[in-house]
Amino acid sequence: MTEEKKAKLKVAAKAPKLADPIAATIDTATQQMIVRAQQLGIDTVFDRAAQMKPCNIGLQGTCCKNCAMGPCRLPLPKGGIEGEDKRKGLCGATANTIAARNFLRMIASGAAAHSDHGRCVAEVFMSAARKETDAYQIKDTNKLIAVAEKLGVSATVEVDGETKDRDIDEIALEVAHKALNEWGKPEGELIYLSRAPQPLYEKWTKAGVKPRNIDREIVEIMHRTHIGVDQDYKNLMKQGARCALADGWGGSMLATDLQDIMFGTPYPLQSEANLGIMKEDHVNIIIHGHEPVLSEIIVAVSQRPDILKYAKSKGARGIQLGGICCTANEILQRHGVPSAGTFLQQELAIITGACDAMIVDIQCVFQNLANVAKCFHTKLITTHPIAKMEQENVMHIEFDEHHALEDAERIVKMAIDNFTNRGSEVMIPRQKATQIAGFGVESIQYHLGGTFRGTYYTLNDNIINGRIRGLAGVVGCNNARTRHNEAHIAVVKELIKNDVLVLTTGCNGIACAMEGLLTPESAGIYCGPGLKEVCETVGIPPVLHLGSCVDNSRILLAATEVIKAGGPWKDLCDIPAAGSAPEWMSEKAISIGQYFVSSGVYTVFGVTLPTTGAPVFHNFITKDMEKLYGGKWDIEPDPIKHAQLMIAHIDKKRKEMGIDKARERVLMTMEDRQAIER
Ligand code: NFS
For the residues of 88-105, what is the DSSP string, one character each? Answer: B-TT--BHHHHHHHHHHH
pLDDT 10s digits, 632-663? 999 999 999 999 999 999 999 999 999 998 77
The number of distinct structural domains making up the chain is 3
Is 398 contained in some domain?
A: yes
Residue after which a domain boundary falls, among 232, 263, 294 = 263
Q: What integer pLDDT is reported at residue 668 of this predicted model?
A: 56
Are residues 485 and 343 both part of a single domain? no
Strand-pairing partners, residue 204, are: none
Strand-pairing partners, residue 324, are: 288, 341
The residue whose C-alpha atom lies closest to atom 6 belonging to ligand 1 is: 325
CATH number of the domain enclosing 171: 1.20.1270.30
Mean pLDDT of 422-445: 93
The residue whose C-alpha atom lies closest to atom 4 belonging to ligand 1 is: 477
Mean pLDDT of 137-142: 94
Distance from residue 549's CA to the centre of ligand 1 (Å): 6
Distance from residue 605's CA to the centre of ligand 1 (Å): 14
Q: What integer pLDDT is reported at residue 677 of this predicted model?
A: 43
Distance from residue 133's CA to the centre of ligand 1 (Å): 30
Mean pLDDT of 472-479: 98
CB of residue 586 inside a 6 A radius of ligand 1:
yes
Beta-carbon-side half-sphere exposure of residue 280 (alpha carbons within 13 Å): 8
Are residues 450 and 576 both part of a single domain? yes
Phi and psi at residue 54, to the nearest 5°:
-75, 155
Is 576 contained in some domain?
A: yes
In this structure, are strands 319-324 and 379-382 parallel, antiparallel, or unpaired? Answer: unpaired
Are residues 235 and 138 both part of a single domain? yes
Is 496 contained in some domain?
A: yes
| DSSP per-residue letters across 425-475 | --------EEEEE---HHHHHHHHS-TTT-SSHHHHHHHHHTSS-EEEEE-
Higher-scoring residue by pLDDT: 434, 661? 434
Distance CA 147, CA 121 (A): 15
Are residues 629 and 520 both part of a single domain? yes
Distance from residue 587's CA to the centre of ligand 1 (Å): 10
Is 527 contained in some domain?
A: yes
CB of residue 349 inside a 6 A radius of ligand 1:
no
Are residues 286 and 185 both part of a single domain? no
- Shortest-distance atom of ligand 1 to CA 113: 7
CATH number of the domain enclosing 489: 3.40.50.2030
pLDDT 10s digits, 96-112? 999 999 999 999 999 99
Beta-carbon-side half-sphere exposure of residue 65 (alpha carbons within 13 Å): 5
Distance from residue 620's CA to the centre of ligand 1 (Å): 27
Are residues 442 and 407 both part of a single domain? no
Residue from 549, 553, 583, 592 whose mutation best tests the ligand 1 pocket (most atoms within 8 A of CB): 549
Give the predicted TM-score (pTM) of the model.
0.95
Residue from 364, 369, 585 whose mutation best tests the ligand 1 pocket (most atoms within 8 A of CB): 364
The residue whose C-alpha atom lies closest to atom 5 belonging to ligand 1 is: 364
Distance from residue 164's CA to the centre of ligand 1 (Å): 44
* Predicted confidence (pLDDT) at residue 4 exceeds the cutoff of 90: no
* Predicted confidence (pLDDT) at residue 451 exceeds the cutoff of 90: no
Distance of CA 121 to the CA centre of its chain: 17
Distance CA 251, CA 595 (A): 12
Q: What integer pLDDT is reported at residue 672 of this predicted model?
A: 54
Identify the band that residue 673 occupies on the pLDDT scale cut at 50, 70 and 90: very low
Beta-carbon-side half-sphere exposure of residue 499 (alpha carbons within 13 Å): 24
Distance from residue 647's CA to the centre of ligand 1 (Å): 25
Q: What integer pLDDT is reported at residue 362 of this predicted model?
A: 96
* Predicted confidence (pLDDT) at residue 255 exceeds the cutoff of 90: yes
Q: What integer pLDDT is reported at residue 678 of this predicted model?
A: 45
Q: What integer pLDDT is reported at residue 134 of this predicted model?
A: 86
Mean pLDDT of 370-399: 96
pLDDT 10s digits, 563-607? 998 889 999 999 999 999 999 999 999 999 999 999 999 999 999
* Predicted confidence (pLDDT) at residue 209 exceeds the cutoff of 60: yes
Phi and psi at residue 439, to the nearest 5°:
-90, 160
Distance from residue 550's CA to the centre of ligand 1 (Å): 9
Q: What integer pLDDT is reported at residue 401 of this predicted model?
A: 83
User: CB of 38 within 8 A of CB of 47?
Assistant: yes
Is 429 contained in some domain?
A: no
pLDDT 10s digits, 226-247? 999 999 999 999 999 999 999 9
**Mean pLDDT of the chain, nearest integer:** 94
Q: What integer pLDDT is reported at residue 3 of this predicted model?
A: 72
* Predicted confidence (pLDDT) at residue 338 exceeds the cutoff of 70: yes
CB of residue 573 inside a 6 A radius of ligand 1:
no
* Predicted confidence (pLDDT) at residue 450 exceeds the cutoff of 90: no
Are residues 126 and 234 both part of a single domain? yes
Residue after which a domain boundary falls, among 233, 263, 293 = 263
Is 66 contained in some domain?
A: no
Is 343 contained in some domain?
A: yes
Mean pLDDT of 43-53: 97
| R_g of the chain, CA atoms, integer Å | 25
- Shortest-distance atom of ligand 1 to CA 324: 6
CB of residue 477 inside a 6 A radius of ligand 1:
yes
Identify the band that residue 1 occupies on the pLDDT scale cut at 50, 70 and 90: low
Distance from residue 633's CA to the centre of ligand 1 (Å): 19
Is 51 contained in some domain?
A: no
Are residues 613 and 519 both part of a single domain? yes
User: CB of 245 within 8 A of CB of 110?
Assistant: no
Are residues 346 and 210 both part of a single domain? no
- Shortest-distance atom of ligand 1 to CA 550: 7
Are residues 248 and 289 both part of a single domain? no
Residue from 106, 363, 592 whose mutation best tests the ligand 1 pocket (most atoms within 8 A of CB): 363
Domain enclosing residue 530, as ranges: 436-656
User: CB of 301 within 8 A of CB of 406?
Assistant: no
Are residues 500 and 382 both part of a single domain? no
Are residues 453 and 560 both part of a single domain? yes
- Shortest-distance atom of ligand 1 to CA 506: 10
Distance CA 525, CA 543 (A): 13
Q: What integer pLDDT is reported at residue 671 of this predicted model?
A: 59
Phi and psi at residue 454, to the nearest 5°:
60, 30
Distance CA 364, CA 445 (A): 32
Distance CA 636, CA 642 (A): 5
User: CB of 302 within 8 A of CB of 319?
Assistant: yes
Name the residue type at position 558. A
Distance from residue 440's CA to the centre of ligand 1 (Å): 18
